[in-house]
Amino acid sequence: MSSLDSYKRELEIQRQARRVAEAQLEDKSRELYQKNQALEAALLQLKEQQELLIAKEKQASIGQLSAGLAHEINNPNAFVQSNLESLHKYVFQLTDAMQVLLSKIEDSDPRFVNQFKHNHDLDFLLQDASDLIQESVQGSQRIQRIVQGLRYFSQTDQRDGRQFDINSCIHSTVELISHEPELQVRINKQLSVLKDCEGNPTLMSLAIGNLLKNAAQSHPRSGEISIRSEQVGQEIRITVSDDGDGIPLDQQPKIFEPFYTTRQPAHGLGLTISQAIVRQHDGRIECSSQPGQGTDICIRLPTAP
């Protein structure tokens, strides 16, 4: 039999061994936790990149489709428009010619001319033909504008690799918008120093301008909308906020869809175009809105490498 002293000594040894084991367990747990954090972060990044990839692919196919569509529509629409314009001229000329003819006949037989005009509703026909043609020209011009909008989707990879400062895009866009008479709101700018972004500043200005227009059209209660820029790590965030109508929750997923609109007259292309441009710059655009409270639309862009 071992002595009591031996057991005491062994107890002390085992206690120490336990302390060592516990310390190791703690180290390993911490290590595991940190690795797990890193893994989760990596997973999130992967998911975001996957989404971006899917979005880009969609963009590319929408791009192809809309480029083809734009071309197909543009050509016939162009000749419809120019034919309508000629037609308009012809109607005027025909009207004039008929006036001359009728006045000649009127000299010898005024009753006949009166009767003739009346029977054939000539005054109405001539006026209405002119109105119809004018409306058609306007319709065709509208088609042209929409098709122009479609053009932005086909520029998937045509962005140039210029480095530019988003803040200067914001300045020039705000300047531009403030000259549009139907967008009379104050625009409050809160800009931070930003790293450069890579891409096409003209397109980016357009993307930002669409957000400002929407905000201005949202009936902001304060009569003011705001645009904020900030640098968060390697990400640039541009947020356009208003305290206007807001967007019903069930409609929020749709606002980036082409032709989705609740406004008259409107094309429902503003946000679609903004999103396409932002995606071309490897960024994302997000909406957060409270119906009746207002809307934040946020563009998140990577800084130039």
Q: Which chain residues interact with another protein by CB under 8 A?
A: 1-3, 6-7, 9-10, 13, 16-17, 20-21, 24
Nearer to ligand ATP, 245 or 276 (CB): 245
* Local structure of 191: helix, strand or coil: strand
Task: Find the angle CA(118)-CA(124)-CA(95) to the nearest 5 degrees.
Answer: 90
Which DSSP string corresponds to 266-286?
--S-HHHHHHHHHHHTT-EEE
Task: Find the angle CA(285)-CA(291)-CA(297) to the nearest 5 degrees.
Answer: 15
Give the C-alpha distances (Å, rounded to integers) separating 264 from 163, 253, 259, 267, 268. Answer: 37, 20, 12, 8, 10
115's CB contacts (< 8 A; 6+ apart) are none
Q: Is position 275 an interface residue for Mg ion (rule: CB under 5 A)? A: no
Under 8 Å between Cβ of 288 and 298: yes
Q: Is position 66 an interface residue for ligand ATP (rule: CB under 6 A)? A: no
Q: Minimum CB separation from ligand ATP for residue 100, in Å?
A: 47
Q: Which of 70, 150, 269, 276 binds ligand ATP (CB under 6 A)?
A: 269
Binding-site string for ligand ATP from residue 103 to residue 142, where x marks contact by CB under 6 A and - marks none: ----------------------------------------
Interacting span for ligand ATP (CB under 6 A) from 111-119, 177-185, 199-207, 211-219: 211-219
Q: Which of residues 232-261 bind ligand ATP (CB under 6 A)?
A: 242, 244-247, 255, 260-261
CA within 13 Å, CB half, 106: 11
Tokens of 3: 């002595």
As a whole number of angstroms, the distance between CA 78 and CA 80 comes to: 5
Q: Which of 169, 170, 271, 277 binds ligand ATP (CB under 6 A)?
A: 271
As a whole number of angstroms, the distance between CA 129 and CA 119 comes to: 17
Q: Residue by residue, what is the 3-state secondary structure of 19-53?
A: HHHHHHHHHHHHHHHHHHHHHHHHHHHHHHHHHHH
Interacting span for ligand ATP (CB under 6 A) from 110-118, 133-141, 166-174, 207-215: 207-215
Report the partner that residue 302 touches, choosing among another protein, Mg ion, ligand ATP, none (CB closer than 5 to 8 A by kind). Answer: none
Q: Minimum CB separation from Mg ion for residue 119, in Å?
A: 51
Report the partner that residue 260 touches, choosing among another protein, ligand ATP, Mg ion, none (CB closer than 5 to 8 A by kind). Answer: ligand ATP
Q: Is position 228 an interface residue for ligand ATP (rule: CB under 6 A)? A: no
| Dihedral angle sign, alpha carbons of residues 86, 91, 92, 98 | positive
Q: Minimum CB separation from ligand ATP for residue 299, in Å?
A: 13
Output phi, psi for 239, to 5 deg.
Answer: -120, 125
Q: Which of residues 215-274 bind Mg ion (CB under 5 A)?
A: 270
Report the partner that residue 1 touches, choosing among Mg ion, another protein, ligand ATP, none (CB closer than 5 to 8 A by kind). Answer: another protein
Report the partner that residue 21 touches, choosing among ligand ATP, another protein, Mg ion, none (CB closer than 5 to 8 A by kind). Answer: another protein
Q: Is position 210 an interface residue for ligand ATP (rule: CB under 6 A)? A: yes
Task: Find the angle CA(66)-CA(165)-CA(246) to the nearest 5 degrees.
Answer: 60
Q: Minimum CB separation from another protein for residue 5, in Å?
A: 9
Closest residue to ligand ATP, based on beta-carbon distance:
270
| Positions in the binding site for ligand ATP (CB under 6 A) | 210, 214-215, 218, 242, 244-247, 255, 260-263, 266-272, 295
